[in-house]
């Protein structure tokens, strides 16, 4: 695992440089989710692929930017699914973005997940790596330094409600309104990594991306976004559910499958379970 941890750190430093200097003009290609790929997305994908290719313990990689998995080392034990630059359209407006990594042993699938990691590129570059515990690292003077272990409180104060509100179910809207009526504060940038990072570091709250009338299965991708954050939230003492079940109990059919998702501290996710058990 140490060699993977090091490869992610090398990738993160190179991606930070690419974000700082790269012209972010649109490429002509679309990714597997039909989004126009930025040249920056492609560059970040190449960086990670190059760094992972040097690690013999990695068997196969799957990138959010590619249609198919790619075999790297026949004898490797680990399978890594990653989103090289999540929320990349936010670079244009100078908001924070991130890279997300789900690390599996013996094949992809939530039950095989053994670690997860993300990197936030904001005013500072930070990395969160969860194996048995969730640990925060800060890029300082060219190296990632350990800062602290992250634990969620039982209840938080922040609310990050994703999806187009017009297309929410009435019971979902009522639930979110209920949280705001209790005093929760809105914190939603449209970047999954910084939005979930903020909730983790500020002690708790709820990030939601529900099923909507236009996207009944949500928007966020199981392998590249949902499972890694589910793992990180659980290891931090929180919960990650699809309304009722643990996200990490869900399977996947295609590598680009999405899931309805809620990540948060226990008070908020218990409320989601109550509401969704009655309505969904």
Binding interface with ligand F6P (CB under 6 A): 86-87, 162-163, 190-192, 219-220
Whichever of 55 and 208 has its CB closer to ligand F6P, that residue is 208
Query: What minimum distance in Å lies between the beta carbon of 164 and ligand F6P?
Result: 6
Nearest-CB residue for ligand F6P:
192
- Inter-residue contact 105 to 116 (CB < 8 Å): no
Query: What minimum distance in Å lies between the beta carbon of 239 and ligand F6P?
Result: 18
Report which DSSP code applies to 132. Answer: S
Q: For residue 207, give both structure tokens.
A: 């990030």
- Inter-residue contact 196 to 263 (CB < 8 Å): yes
Whichever of 220 and 260 has its CB closer to ligand F6P, that residue is 220
Whichever of 212 and 269 has its CB closer to ligand F6P, that residue is 212
Whichever of 146 and 180 has its CB closer to ligand F6P, that residue is 180
Whichever of 55 and 97 has its CB closer to ligand F6P, that residue is 97
Query: What minimum distance in Å lies between the beta carbon of 243 and ligand F6P?
Result: 17
Q: What angle do CA 2, 108, 206 make, to 5 degrees?
A: 85
Whichever of 219 and 222 has its CB closer to ligand F6P, that residue is 219
Query: What minimum distance in Å lies between the beta carbon of 205 and ligand F6P?
Result: 14
Q: What angle do CA 42, 247, 151 make, to 5 degrees?
A: 90
Query: What minimum distance in Å lies between the beta carbon of 93 and ligand F6P?
Result: 12
CA distances, 140 to each of 22, 69, 198 (Å): 22, 33, 20
Q: For residue 86, give both structure tokens.
A: 């999540």
Query: What minimum distance in Å lies between the beta carbon of 221 and ligand F6P?
Result: 7
d(CA 263, CA 270): 11
Residue 26 dihedral angles phi and psi, to the nearest 5°: -70, 135
d(CA 198, CA 82): 21
């Amino acid at each position: 695992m140490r060699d993977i941890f090091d490869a992610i750190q090398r990738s993160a430093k190179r991606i930070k440089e690419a974000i700082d200097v790269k012209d972010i003009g649109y490429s002509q290609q679309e990714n597997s989710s039909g989004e126009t790929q930025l040249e920056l997305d492609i560059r970040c994908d190449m960086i990670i692929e190059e760094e992972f290719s040097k690690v013999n313990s990695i068997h196969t990689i799957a990138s959010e930017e590619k249609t198919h998995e790619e075999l790297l080392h026949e004898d490797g034990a680990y399978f890594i699914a990653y989103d090289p630059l999540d929320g990349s359209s936010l670079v244009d407006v100078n908001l924070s973005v991130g890279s997300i990594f789900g690390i599996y042993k013996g094949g992809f699938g939530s039950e095989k997940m053994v670690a997860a990691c993300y990197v936030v590129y904001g005013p500072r570059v930070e990395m969160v790596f969860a194996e048995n515990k969730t640990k925060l690292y800060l890029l300082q003077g060219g190296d990632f330094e350990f800062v602290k272990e992250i634990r969620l409180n039982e209840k938080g104060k922040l609310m990050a409600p994703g999806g187009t509100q017009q297309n929410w179910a009435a019971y979902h809207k009522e639930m979110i309104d209920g949280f705001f009526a209790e005093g929760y504060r809105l914190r939603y940038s449209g970047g999954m990594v910084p939005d979930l990072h903020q909730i983790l570091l500020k002690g708790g709250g709820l990030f939601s991306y529900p099923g909507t009338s236009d996207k009944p299965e949500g928007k966020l991708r199981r392998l590249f976004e949902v499972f890694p954050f589910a793992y990180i939230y659980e290891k931090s003492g929180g919960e990650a559910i699809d309304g009722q079940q643990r996200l990490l109990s869900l399977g996947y059919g295609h590598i680009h499958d999405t899931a309805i998702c809620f990540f948060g501290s226990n008070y908020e996710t218990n409320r989601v379970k109550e509401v969704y058990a009655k309505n969904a």
